[in-house]
Every structure is written in structure tokens, then in C-alpha cells.
Amino acid sequence: MISLKMWAGRFEKELDSTINDFNSSISFDWVMYKEDIAGSMAHAGMLGAQGIIPMADVEEILTGLEGILADLESGRLQIDPTAEDIHMFIEQTLTARIGDAGKRLHTARSRNDQVALDTRLYLRGKTNQIITAVRGLAAVLVQLAQQNLHTVLPGYTHLQVAQPVTFAHHLMAYAQMLRRDIGRLQDCKARMNYSPLGAGALAGTTYPINRQRTAQELEFTAPCPNSMDAVSDRDFCVELAAALALVMTHLSRLSEEVVLWCSSEFKFVELDDAFATGSSIMPQKKNPDITELVRGKTGRVNGNLVTLLTMLKGLPLAYNKDMQEDKQAIFDSVETTLACLAAVTPMLQTMRVNAKNMRAAAAKGFINATDCADYLTKKGLPFRDAYKITGSLVVHCIKAGLTLETLPLQEYKAASDLFEEDVYTAIDLATCVAQRNSEGGPAPEAVQAQIEEYKKAMEM
Ligand code: ARG
């Protein structure tokens, strides 16, 4: 344990141990150790190149930091839970290992630019991971869609049977949402990717540093143009939290549908045993727990967004310790989203689709009533009149226990003499779907075109 605080010179007493725990962030910011080391290496290299510290010290610092990294990875070095944060822990360990050269590392730097740097680097990496995971899920949706171009199911509005669609069409709707999610994550990453290193505590530094050099070495687009902004905004956390809240909202809506589809009333899909759970008391149960957890966890991810916005809204420039609270919120959003994507993707991939039940559900509820009205319209009747005639036929069918498919032709003709034998083809579910071939519609060829465009745009 390293007992003497870094700022011990100014203080005559050790920090109260309860307050030390209260103040410490190491229990959650230790995850950024790699980024902290990478940032320190870039900083040290720059200090040496600019002649701010001797090259010999730089060599020692770099070797020392490499050793710390290797030892943390191998478990030879344990994170000290009483350290104030990961930045202090690494610097103190370095100094304990290499002596004076270690004490030179923090020249022309503050923990304020250091933490802003580490957080950006860390979240940049995580954003890449999330983009890959969202792409993986999108690929599964596209694959499932390709297999279900002709699988007819009811399309709903108000959760009431509306018009027939295909399962492919339904799944591609989610694939399109994920495509925009990826776009948002990429945009967010691009705005995040500016280097705060060299902003110092808030007001830059009097040393002849080279911010371009460190920014380049750490693969940033450029240094943040304003040192106060660099250390005091966390808009990149908010943006990422918002993008993740939307990813989760999309996953949550899809999850809710899977919950419905698994129910005995729908039975549209069946989850693979490896991705469902049983009940401790009811032997017949096969529960879609994964989807319910995704739906539930979406609440947490939405909450994290509000946490971050609220944490920031009253802060005067520049750094305030409130900002230490950014990490748990955004890290939780990141890990929760990754975990949900990792659960949902194989669950969908292994789910069995019950095309017969989907089709049977679509045959109920007068789903082809619009098509019946369209039939009359195409024969010259104004749509409003066709709508009224079809409405009266539906009422008649309900009273007589018939469907539009089983209603005899003479009863059609009694309502309008425009009806001919071919009305039965026009209201056949397959026809209803096939004719909805407008761009973006559910007809198999329209969905196939959508899939082609999607795969091309997404480089799948
Ligand atoms: N652990 C701190 C954080 O996460 C690091 C920055 C501390 N800066 C300071 N001036 N106390 O924000």
C-alpha cells in the first residue's frame, strides 16, 4: 500500500480513511489502466523530444511503464484499492520502481487533462467494440430476413391486426434502426476523438510542449482547441450514453416483440433451449428471460443518460470533482449494452420461426380488408365508397361467422356488381403481400431489394 498522498506536501495529516474511500475512484477507473499508460508514454516521449526532461529519464519511464503494464496483465501487480485513482496508482508505482525519473512524468500535465484523455481513449475503444457487436446483430437480422422473404405474418398498428407483411420485412425494420445506431456511434466517436492532453489543469502550461505530437501518436484527429473546454466537458460521455440509450431502446422493442411471439397465444417463434429458462415451480414454462432482462436493463441505460446530463448541468468551468461521477454511468451503459448485444444476437440466430402460425394469424382479423377495398378502387370506384362497401361486408361476415375468403360471390355482388370471381385472388394473403411491392414495402422482391441495398451500404 502506498500511504503518502501525492499532494502530501501541502497537508500535515493523512486523509481520514472513510473520506479516502469516499474520494477514491480506483474501484471503477482502474479499467482504464492501459489507456493511462499509453497516455503517459506519449506524454513522456513528447517531454523528452521537446527537451523538457532528459532523454535518459524518458527511457526509464517508458521501460517502467511497460513493466507496470505487463505486471498488471499477468496479475503480478495488484491494483491498490486504497489509491485515489488509477492515475495516482500508476504514477506512484512507477516512482516506487524507478525513483526520480518517475517523479518527472507529471511535468506539464494535470490529472484533469490526464483523466479526460484516458476516458476518451477508453470510450473510443469501447465504441469500436459496440459498433462491431451492433453490426453482428444486424447481420443476423439480415440473414433471418433472407430466409423469411415469403413468411407472411400480420402487421399491427395499436397491436391490432392491420395489414399483412412478411417476417423479412419486419426484421429489416430493426436492421434499419441498427444501421442508424451505428451511424450515431460513428459520429459520436468522431467528435470524441480530440486530444485533451496538454490542456493541463485548465490553463495549458508554460513548458514548450507539443500537443500535435501527442495527439498524433495517440491517433486523435487533433488536439482539443481550447484547454478549458478540453478538461471540463463530458459531452462525449453524454453523446455516447444517448446513442447507447437508443441502441437499447431498439433492442428493448425487439425484445418485447419476442416476448409476445413466444407466448402460447402467438407461438410465432420458439427460442432454443440454450437461450430460454424454466420455472422453479411450473414445469410447462419456457421463459424468454433474456428479452425481459434487455427490456429491464434499458431503464438503467436511459437512467445513466439522465445521470450524466444532471451531473454536468450546473458545473462552472473548468474541472470539478463532480465529473468523477461520469465513469460509473457511462461504463455501465457501455457494459450493459455489450452484454445485451452478446445475449440477443445468438438468441435470434438460434430461434425457430413458426411460419405456419404466423400465416394462420394473418388469416384472421380481416387483414385483407384494405385489399378488398383496393380491388374495387382499381375497378374505378372512389376509395371512400370502396372503403364503405368493404366495411359493410366485414360487418356482415362477422355476423354470419364468415371471412372475406369464405363469403360467397353472390353476397359480394349484392354489395357491388363490380365484384367478380377474381376478388378471391385479390384478397388472397399471398397476393396481398406480393402486390405491396412499392419501394420499402413487404413484397418479397421489395424486401430483397432492401436487403441488397443494406448489405452494400453496410459492406456486409
Ligand atoms: N479521479 C479523478 C476523476 O475521475 C481524476 C481527476 C482528479 N482531478 C482533480 N483535480 N482532483 O475525475
pLDDT in tens, 335-361: 999 999 999 999 999 999 999 999 999
For residue 127 the three cell numbers come to: 465504441
432 versus 297: which is more confidently predicted? 297
What digits encode the pLDDT tens for the residues 230-260?
Answer: 999 999 999 999 999 999 999 999 999 999 9
Mean pLDDT of the chain: 95
CB neighbourhood size of 200 (10 A): 22
Q: How far is the CA of 155 from the centre of ligand 1 (A)?
A: 52
Q: CA-to-CA distance for 23 and 372, rounded, in angstroms?
A: 70
pLDDT-derived band at 279, boundaries 50, 70, 90:
confident
Task: Give the pocket of ligand 1 (CB within 6 Å).
Answer: 25, 29, 85, 111-112, 115, 319, 321, 323-324
Percent of the chain with pLDDT over 90: 90
For residue 283 the three cell numbers come to: 414445469
Q: How far is the CA of 117 from the centre of ligand 1 (A)?
A: 12
Q: How distant, in Å, are the alpha carbons of 216, 299, 425 from that of 123?
A: 18, 21, 56
Query: Whose CA is closest to atom 3 on ligand 1?
Result: 324
Q: CA-to-CA distance for 352 and 268, rounded, in angstroms?
A: 9
CB neighbourhood size of 355 (10 A): 17
Q: CA-to-CA distance for 367 and 356, rounded, in angstroms?
A: 16
User: Quick one: CA dihedral 144, 341, 116, 47, positive or negative?
Assistant: negative
The single residue of 17, 74, 158, 280 carrying the catalytic annotation is 158
The number of the ligand 1 atom at minimal distance from the alpha carbon of 84 is 1
Checking if the pLDDT of 5 tops 70, the result is: no
Average pLDDT over residues 180-187: 98
Query: Whose CA is closest to atom 11 on ligand 1?
Result: 321
Best CA proximity match to 265, nearest among 357, 143, 162, 329: 357
Average pLDDT over residues 30-52: 98
Q: CA-to-CA distance for 303 and 90, rounded, in angstroms?
A: 32
Q: How far is the CA of 90 from the centre of ligand 1 (A)?
A: 14
Query: Whose CA is closest to atom 2 on ligand 1?
Result: 324
**Peptide bond before 215: cis, by omega within 30 degrees of 0?**
no
The number of the ligand 1 atom at minimal distance from the alpha carbon of 25 is 1
Nearest-5° Cα angle at 404, 166 to 354? 30
Q: Please report the pLDDT score of residue 1 as a whole number.
A: 46
The number of the ligand 1 atom at minimal distance from the alpha carbon of 323 is 12
Q: Which of 112, 311, 331 to mutate to test the pocket of ligand 1 (most atoms within 8 A of CB)?
A: 112
For residue 275 the three cell numbers come to: 437461450
Q: Please report the pLDDT score of residue 303 as a whole number.
A: 98
Average pLDDT over residues 53-64: 98
What interhelical angle do 111-147 and 235-262 show, nearest 10? 30
Average pLDDT over residues 409-438: 93
CA dihedral 86, 91, 92, 98 (to 10 degrees): 150
Q: Please report the pLDDT score of residue 155 as a whole number.
A: 95
The number of the ligand 1 atom at minimal distance from the alpha carbon of 321 is 12
Q: How far is the CA of 304 from the centre of ligand 1 (A)?
A: 20
Percent of the chain with pLDDT over 70: 98
Q: CA-to-CA distance for 317 and 315, rounded, in angstroms?
A: 6
Q: How far is the CA of 212 from the centre of ligand 1 (A)?
A: 24
- Determine which of 9-13, 322-326, 327-331 has the lowest per-residue pLDDT on average: 9-13
Number of H helices, E strands in the chain: 20, 6
Query: Whose CA is closest to atom 12 on ligand 1?
Result: 324
For residue 408 the three cell numbers come to: 360467397
Residue 156 three-state SS? strand
Q: CA-to-CA distance for 53 and 123, rounded, in angstroms?
A: 30
For residue 407 the three cell numbers come to: 363469403
Query: Active site includes 158?
Result: yes
In DSSP terms, which residues pair with 85 in a beta bridge?
none
pLDDT-derived band at 4, boundaries 50, 70, 90:
low
For residue 194 the three cell numbers come to: 480530440
Residues comprising the chain, all counted: 460
Instruction: Give Dmax over CA atoms of the chain in angstroms.
Output: 101
Average pLDDT over residues 54-70: 98
What digits encode the pLDDT tens for the residues 289-304?
Answer: 999 999 999 999 999 9
The number of the ligand 1 atom at minimal distance from the alpha carbon of 327 is 4
Residue in the block written with cell 395489414: 163
Contact, 230 vs 116, CB < 8 A?
yes
Query: Active site includes 279?
Result: yes
Q: How far is the CA of 115 from the centre of ligand 1 (A)?
A: 7
Average pLDDT over residues 51-58: 98
Contact, 324 vs 25, CB < 8 A?
yes
Query: Whose CA is closest to atom 10 on ligand 1?
Result: 112
What digits encode the pLDDT tens for the residues 77-136?
Answer: 999 999 999 999 999 999 999 999 999 999 999 999 999 999 999 999 999 999 999 999
Q: What are the residues whose beta carbons fall under 8 Å from the beta carbon of 204, sequence distance 6 or more?
A: 198, 227
pLDDT-derived band at 3, boundaries 50, 70, 90:
low
